[in-house]
Amino acid sequence: MANIWLKIIKPGRSAAKWLLFMVLIAVVSATYLGYFDSVRTVLDTPALTLRIGSFGISAYTLLSSLIAIALVFWTTAIIVDTVENRISRLQSLRAANRALVLKLAQIVIYLVAFLIGLDFVGIDLTTLTVFSGAVGIGLGFGLQKIASNFISGLILLMEKSIEEGDLIELSDGTFGFIRRASARYTLVETFDSKEILVPNEDLITSRVVNWTFSNASARVDVEVGVSYHSDIELANDLILAAAREHPRCATHPEPACFLRSFGDSSVNFTLHFWVDDVTLGRWPPHSEVMFSIWRKFKEHGIEIPFPQRDLHIKGALDFTPPAKPAADKEG
């Protein structure tokens, strides 16, 4: 049912668009030539007029208003569709700029269509000033979030801080790619194929990590513990060699290994290496470098210890149970 109404409001085929254009021309021409005067004489009578106080609407007025509104909706939908196709073909503009131009064009087209529709129905535009206060109250209470998300979406498009294809991380741990930016929400697709609709206001008021804002490179950190009995200088060289051999390891900046602490059971190193394209993932190179470190340590006799405790007992302990007291003998 929803698809049927969508096709009625917004015809998709070229033949339907041309047919709608011809119907629009015919209706406008018949109105100006007076062919609807006989219909108006029959329908625009007191018997077919509904009155509420001083306000009255006849059957002719209702029918003509419905036809006018339908034609305005159809025409506006076709115009918007045509503008969308034209703007989407402008390859000279970035995706964010095309989205911004498209949203502004939609706002202007629908606003003009709304005013034209009111004029066709016969509503005086000066009477809209009476409802301006009510509209302001509605935006202040019921539509506050919707208006805030819409304005936030325009700000994001103008600032270009978040664009389609960017890899972002939200304050609640959501991590994924931006697939679509709309007037109310931004669609984020996570690595496990979840599609999360994030309100645009959250992207403005909360902290957002954009991993690909200025470049797509990112750092990978690997923690490694080495036994106190091992050659720690050799371990440092092997850790760096494992990172340099990985195909996704960037040459600038070069990987670096640091001795961070002398722990209870191990000497702890931290490896930093960079990947050029974080959108391909950080976990695969992290895992592969750790496997390489494991193999190199085994080949060169470097031990990765595990926590253990030694118990030292000083002096001999007497586990002989105490003697029981002798029972009293009767005299």
* Assigned token pair, 20: 């709608």
Mean pLDDT of the chain: 78
CATH T-level fold of 161-210: SH3 type barrels. (2.30.30)
In this prediction the pTM is 0.55
Tell me the residue type at 273. Answer: F
pLDDT classification of 113: cutoffs 50, 70, 90:
confident
Tell me the residue type at 47. Answer: A
pLDDT classification of 6: cutoffs 50, 70, 90:
very low
Domain boundaries, the chain: 2-123, 161-210, 218-299
* Assigned token pair, 150: 């819409």
Question: pLDDT at position 2, please?
Answer: 46
User: Is the backbone peptide bond immediately before 307 cis, with ω within 30 degrees of 0?
Assistant: no
- Side-chain-side CA neighbours of 72 within 13 Å: the count stands at 19
Q: Which residues contact 49 (CB under 8 A, 6 or more apart)?
A: 56, 57, 58, 59
State phi, psi for 297 to the nearest 5 degrees.
-65, -40
The share of the chain scoring above pLDDT 70, in percent, equals 68
Distance CA 154, CA 111 (A): 17
Question: pLDDT at position 294, please?
Answer: 96
CA 243 to the chain's CA centroid: 33
Report which of 53, 48, 109 is spatially closest to residue 81, judged by C-alpha positions. 109
pLDDT digits (tens, 9 = 90+) for 266-292: 999 999 999 999 989 899 999 999 999
Cβ count near 215 (within 10 Å): 10
Report which of 242, 245, 263 is spatially closest to residue 305, judged by C-alpha positions. 263
pLDDT at residue 1 above 60?
no
pLDDT digits (tens, 9 = 90+) for 58-98: 776 777 777 777 777 777 777 777 777 777 777 666 666 66
pLDDT digits (tens, 9 = 90+) for 213-269: 888 899 999 999 999 999 999 999 999 999 999 999 998 899 999 999 998 889 999
Q: CATH number for 218-299: choose from 3.40.630.30, 3.30.70.100, 3.90.79.10, 3.40.50.2300.
A: 3.30.70.100
Question: pLDDT at position 105, please?
Answer: 77
